[in-house]
Structure 1
Amino acid sequence: MSGVLEGFTTIGALIALGALLAHLRVFDLSAQVVLSRLAFYVASPALMITVLQDADVSAVLSRNLVATGCAVVTVVLLYVVVARLVLRQDLADTVVGALCSAYVNAGNLGLPIAAYVLGDAALVAPTLLLQMLVLQPIALAVLDVAVAEHRVPWHRFVTRPLRTPLTVGSLLGLTLSLSDVRLPRLVDEPLGLVGAMAVPAMLIAYGVSLRLGPRPGSGGSAPVLALIVTLKLVVQPVVAYTLGRFALGMEGAPLLAVTVLAALPAAQNIFVIAVRYDRSTVLARDAVFATTVLSVPAVAVAAAVVG
């Protein structure tokens, strides 16, 4: 559990720093937008290149990916059905809510947990690649269509993932990994420095929002938030475990990995995406906050039951 606690402590410290800077009026809400844009357009793509160029791509074809992918699809479909038919959300709000329900914090929580709790940092690679190369590009393409003032031509929709900075960075990193090519040091080191800004920028921006934005839970979205928390911390890990054990015959460390990683909280970059498109920003912030707090016991229970 030390890796879990270390991961959550690091996140909490940077969020608290953002809230403190906002309280001291060093940052305001406009600074939150600037930090979010910096993370979205510059730092996160650089981070994806540096992370994925060293990833074990063969892990993508493992049963780990199948169980993780099926759990994600199940949760997304459940949220979309409830959001559209019961909650009557529009398309953009539905996409943000679906991301909150299924997109896990595989970076700054998944990596330390995989390394310190599961004993192999490579176990988080399938989740990272699935989210960065499949889930996120599709979500961003749909968001572009949803917020567009005019109908988006089909060719722009199809090629949208190739024009998204995060997706381009992920594809470049994956290409480097597949070709077994390393970037020259003069390129790799500056890229690493820029990428290192991604997670701190996201978390500090999030802390600014917590201090200066509406208080958590004040946005009138309690039923939606309850749905997201249930899907994220209960349904997703249960589906991943059930499929992994009974349909795919997984056991031991691989089964523990898919279950524990599925129980991680919603990722901070969902909040960055919500700010970028100016849709469901408060809901995204509250979902990250609630799932991060509640995922501590969720991860502990998952590890205890499966382990």
Structure 2
Amino acid sequence: MGGVFAGYATIAALIALGVLLAHLRVIDAAGQRTLSTLAFYVASPALLLTVLQDSDLGAVFSGALLATTAAVLLTGAVYVVVAVLRRQRLGDAVIGALCSAYVNAGNLGLPIAAYVLGDPALVAPTLLLQLLVLQPLALTLLDVDGTATLSVRRVLSRPARNPITVASALGLGFALTGLELPAAVADPLTLVGGMAVPSMLLAYGVSLRLGPLPGRGVPPRELAGVVGLKLVVQPLLAYAVGRFALDLGTAELLAVTVLAALPTAQNVFVIASRYERRAVLARDAIFVSTVLSVPAVVVVTALVV
């Protein structure tokens, strides 16, 4: 369990630093937007390219991927149905679905997979599903939502013009072919990519200090519904599919269930801020799900094992 608490402590420290910097007026609202923009356009693409090029793709095409995919799609579908009934705008529904089903597989998934599950490669199916399928799809829909006039060519070409999607595709291409970036290119990209997570967390901390307090910016019922989908429905679905449909072994079943119980990822807030769609909902969902996921992961680990 040490890896769980260590991962959370690291995240909490950077968020607290962002709160402090905003309180001391070192970073204002404009600075927060700059951090989010830097993470979206520069640091995150560099991080994704360098991480994905070294991925073990053999671990991705497995029963764990099927269970993870089913849990994510079914959980997101529940939110989408509710959003349609409420007649939400497309962009708002996309952010809500991401808050309900997009896992913090990077900052928390990797240390938990390494120290709790015993194998960091177990996070690969979740990580790549989100980076290569969910995130490009969400970004495309958000681009569509923000455009008054559309054409099929423009819609289909949007993923190729998004830096995060392009970087993910390049990283996957390197992993499939076995090619590697030369050190003169890889080393600077690694340094730039190292800014991604700190930038996201600092921007998130600044937003906590400058914006309305968590729970006051969105209706409590909506926030509770999103967090409930993330921490209760998604892990239950992952467990049910993994055990009853795929008959996964204990280690794989534990991995998919624990990873499904992780909180909403910080980059959902970055995306919401970039597209100006439900950023407060994203912020609050990340905060509440991060706090509550600590007991959630502990309970899941105890029950599955």
**TM superposition score normalised by structure 1:** 0.98
Asked if structure 2 preserves the Cα contact closer than 8 Å seen for 1:233 and 1:263, the reply is yes
Question: 2:167 matched to which residue of 1?
Answer: 169
Question: 2:83 matched to 1:103?
Answer: no
Alpha-carbon deviation of 1:199?
0.1
Question: 2:164 matched to 1:159?
Answer: no
Paired amino acid for 1:119: G
Alpha-carbon deviation of 1:88?
3.0
Asked if structure 1 preserves the Cα contact closer than 8 Å seen for 2:218 and 2:280, the reply is no
Pick one of 205, 208, 211 that aligns with 1:210: 208
Deviations 1:29-82 (A, max 9, x none): 111100000000000000001111111111221001000000000011100001
State the distance in 1 between where 2:218 and 2:262 align. 25
Deviations 1:273-301 (A, max 9, x none): 01000110111100000100000011111
Question: 1:237 matched to which residue of 2?
Answer: 235
Question: 1:18 matched to which residue of 2?
Answer: 18
Paired amino acid for 2:40: F
Alpha-carbon deviation of 1:90?
1.3
Range 21-30 or range 88-97, more displaced = 88-97
Deviations 1:123-168 (A, max 9, x none): 00111110010001111111111121x2221122122112111111
Asked if structure 1 preserves the Cα contact closer than 8 Å seen for 2:22 and 2:28, the reply is yes
Question: 2:117 matched to which residue of 1?
Answer: 118
State the distance in 1 between where 2:183 and 2:132 align. 26
Pick one of 237, 247, 250 that aligns with 2:248: 250
Question: 2:84 matched to 1:77?
Answer: no
Which segments of structure 1 move beyond 6 Å, counting only runs of 4 or more? none
Paired amino acid for 1:249: D
State the distance in 1 between where 2:141 and 2:128 align. 19
Q: RMSD value over aligned CA atoms?
A: 0.8
Asked if structure 2 preserves the Cα contact closer than 8 Å seen for 1:221 and 1:283, the reply is no
Paired amino acid for 2:275: Y
Identity of aligned residues (%): 65
**TM superposition score normalised by structure 2:** 0.98
State the distance in 2 between where 1:2 and 1:205 align. 27
Paired amino acid for 2:104: N
Q: Which runs of 5+ in 1 are unaligned?
A: none
State the distance in 1 between where 2:153 and 2:25 align. 45
Question: 2:10 matched to 1:38?
Answer: no
Question: 2:287 matched to 1:295?
Answer: no
Alpha-carbon deviation of 1:116?
0.6
Name the SS for the 2:106 alignment partner. Answer: helix
Asked if structure 2 preserves the Cα contact closer than 8 Å seen for 1:7 and 1:109, the reply is yes
Question: 2:177 matched to 1:179?
Answer: yes
Paired amino acid for 2:105: A
Pick one of 192, 195, 204 that aligns with 1:194: 192
State the distance in 1 between where 2:119 and 2:160 align. 31
Alpha-carbon deviation of 1:218?
1.2
State the distance in 2 between where 1:287 and 1:270 align. 10
Range 151-160 or range 21-30, more displaced = 151-160
State the distance in 2 between where 1:75 and 1:134 align. 15
